[in-house]
Structures are given as C-alpha cells and as structure tokens.
Amino acid sequence: MPALTSSTSVVAYDDARALPDNVLSALTAHPRESNVILSGIEKSRSRPESLKGKEHWIACTTDGTVEFVLSCAEGAIGAYPLFIYSTKPSSELDEEFLLHRLTLLARKLVDTVGVARVFSVFALEKVTEVFQHLWSQMTGVAAVPTPYYAATFTHCDQNSYIERAPTLCPSINYDLRPATEADIPVVAEQCYEFALTSEPFVLSPEGARKEATLLVKNKQVWVHEIRRGDNPAEIASIVCFTRQSATVAAITKVYTNPRCRKMGCAERLVRRVTKFLLKTKLSVVLYVAHDNLAAVNVYHRVGFMGLAQSKGPVEGVEPWLEIGFDLNVVELGHW
C-alpha cells in the first residue's frame, strides 16, 4: 500500500471578504497572537468599499489545516510591512517545516505583489529569519544589515492587570483623557518625534498631522495632560491603540515629551488606557523593544505578562522580529 503524503497549498486573496471560513477561524481561535493580521482583516471587511487589488492575504494550508496566514495590507499613512502569523506553536516551527511552507508563500508573494512592495517582514523571530533568507535568495534583494525592530509580544487581561493608586507629584495637576480636536497639533508633534526614533519609518510634519488627525477622529489616542503650578497645561504623553479586533486591542504607540519624563506619566496613562480597553476587550496586546528596558518595566508594572525574566516563560509571549530589505529596491511604507 503506498504511503500517504501531505499536501500543502497556498492561495492568495485580494479581498478580505473573500477569505474562507477556515482561514478566519484559524485567526479568531488565537485573536491575541494573530492581532496584527486579524485586526486589519476585520477593518477591511467592515469598509463600505474594499481595497481590492491593493491588499493581499495568502493562506498556507496542509491537508485542510491552516498553518500560515500572510498579509500585505494598507494603512492610512502608507503600506504596512509583510505580516506573517503561524497557527502552530513556536515549539513546532522547526527548520524543515518552515523552509517548505515559507518557500511556497514567498513564491506566491512574488507572483502576487512583486518585489518592490515587500519593504520589510514582521513575524515570530524564527519565521522572519527563515523568510528573509528565502526571500533574498529568491529575489536577489538583500536584507538591511540591522533589524528594524526586535521586540517581545506580550498581553494583559483582567486577571493580570495591576490596579495602582496614581502617584501624586507635588505642585503638578494632571488629567488623563481621550484626545480632542484641540489636541491635534500637540499629538502631531509627538507622533513626529516618535517616528524620529523609528527609522526608517519617519514622518514629515504633514504626515504626522495627518496621522494625529486620524487618531483623534477615530478615538484611538489618549493624552496625559499636566499643569505645573500656574503654568498653562501641556500634554506630557500620548498612548495610541489602532489595531482592534472583536476581542483584542493593541497599544501601538506610547510617547512622552522629553521635558516630562521621569514623572511616571507613561505608566499612569498606559494603565488608564489598558483599563479602559479591558472594559470592552478580553485582552490588550503590545510589542516592546528588547532594548527599551524603561518601557519593559512600565508594561510589567501595569500587568503585561512575561516581562519579568525571574518568573519564567509565559504562553504566547514570544520574540518577534522585523527585517527590512534594500531601500534602493523597495518602496517604503509606514506603520
């Protein structure tokens, strides 16, 4: 009797509404880990008009089981990186498994969007590393030597969230609230300054103004306002949360004005926003750079899991990596 062999296939879709139920089910089964892709799909499916032809998703399936979903989507400010999500636990992603499936995904991607669209890839660390090698080998486009982003994916829920009384600062009053239209100029300034720390994804002043306007319009940004004595109030920190699915919200930007640091503003606002989001979501997720120890400590104190090395690993808390490709070849997007 001949041996049974597995059959792996990849299928591309250019309309989120065309994604089959098994792909959607694979993503919604793990809404935290898949948030970077699932949130975009839900947003695309809710639009009156689709971005058909501009956004693409590729599903990799073996014997009917969805194993990878790749997204090549559009944001309000520019194209997003290539995102890859695997339904398999990290422990099962050995090199042989990855090489076969990521090769198929890369071939389909070349046929679907070409080479210039893929300016970077963001996924679990080992997935990114293997995909980058395959992509460079297949297309001849070299990777940028230094990764754009090396971060830990973490999450917070009602059980892990840590309530704490606000720290009071003598002679300083503060207000934590959703941003309003009047805040747009200052939010834009902080978006601009945040982007300066996120090479190559910098923003022009006009681009930062556009981003701030959208964040305020969509109610996706809170501000931490402080007043020192009799001085005018100023916005010390912002927290943005742009990737939301039915059950999960992602904090996507945290920035504090350098003049207002060492005052606990970021922690105070992150805690308040996390509490607000957990009123309607089961989890809040975020990525924090490995080398940003101040942010790691802030998120740990708020209740984001797996950030205290002494407590050992936490399921779902994993290293993610973004690697970029030759800027002379690709068309850079923004996220």
CATH of the domain at 65: 3.40.630
Same domain for 100 and 232? no
pLDDT at residue 27, rounded to an integer = 98
Residue 32, number of CB atoms within 10 A of its CB: 20
pLDDT at residue 6, rounded to an integer = 75
Strands (E), 106-201: 120-124, 149-157, 172-178
Q: Find the angle CA(179)-CA(39)-CA(130) to the nearest 5 degrees.
A: 120
Q: Looking at the domain assignment, is residue 3 inside a domain?
A: no
58: left (phi over 0), alpha (psi -120 to 50) or beta: beta
pLDDT at residue 3, rounded to an integer = 43
Q: Which two tokens stand for residue 180?
A: 């309003």
Same domain for 146 and 176? no
Q: How many CA atoms lie within 13 A of 122 on its CB side?
A: 23
Which residues are within 8 A (CB) of 87 and not within 5 positions of it... i.e. 6 or more apart? 26, 29, 30, 65, 66, 67, 68, 69
Q: Looking at the domain assignment, is residue 322 inside a domain?
A: no
Same domain for 196 and 128? no
**Are residues 252 and 262 in contact, defined by beta-carbon separation less than 8 angstroms?**
no
Same domain for 181 and 145? no
Q: Looking at the domain assignment, is residue 167 inside a domain?
A: no
Same domain for 38 and 123? yes
Q: Looking at the domain assignment, is residue 258 inside a domain?
A: yes
Q: Looking at the domain assignment, is residue 32 inside a domain?
A: yes
Mean of the per-residue pLDDT values of the chain: 94
Helical spans, DSSP H, in 34-143 = 35-46, 95-113, 125-139
Same domain for 144 and 200? no
CA–CA distance, 179 with 218 (Å, rounded to integer): 10
Q: What pTM value is reported for the model? A: 0.94
pLDDT in tens, 215-271: 999 999 999 999 987 888 899 999 999 999 999 999 999 999 999 998 899 999 999
Same domain for 76 and 21? yes
**Are residues 179 and 188 in contact, defined by beta-carbon separation less than 8 angstroms?**
no
Q: Which two tokens stand for residue 122?
A: 């963001």
Give me the DSSP letters along 261-286: TTSSHHHHHHHHHHHHHTTT-SEEEE
Q: Looking at the domain assignment, is residue 2 inside a domain?
A: no
Bridge partners (DSSP) listed for residue 228: 172
Bridge partners (DSSP) listed for residue 323: 121
Same domain for 135 and 178? no
Same domain for 133 and 28? yes
Structural domain ending residue among the three candidates 115, 150, 185: 150
Structurally, the chain folds into a number of domains equal to: 2
Q: What is the CATH number of the domain that holds 240?
A: 3.40.630.30
pLDDT below 70 — which residues of the chain? 1-5, 50-53, 168
Q: Looking at the domain assignment, is residue 333 inside a domain?
A: no
Structural domain harbouring 37: 8-150
Same domain for 186 and 137? no
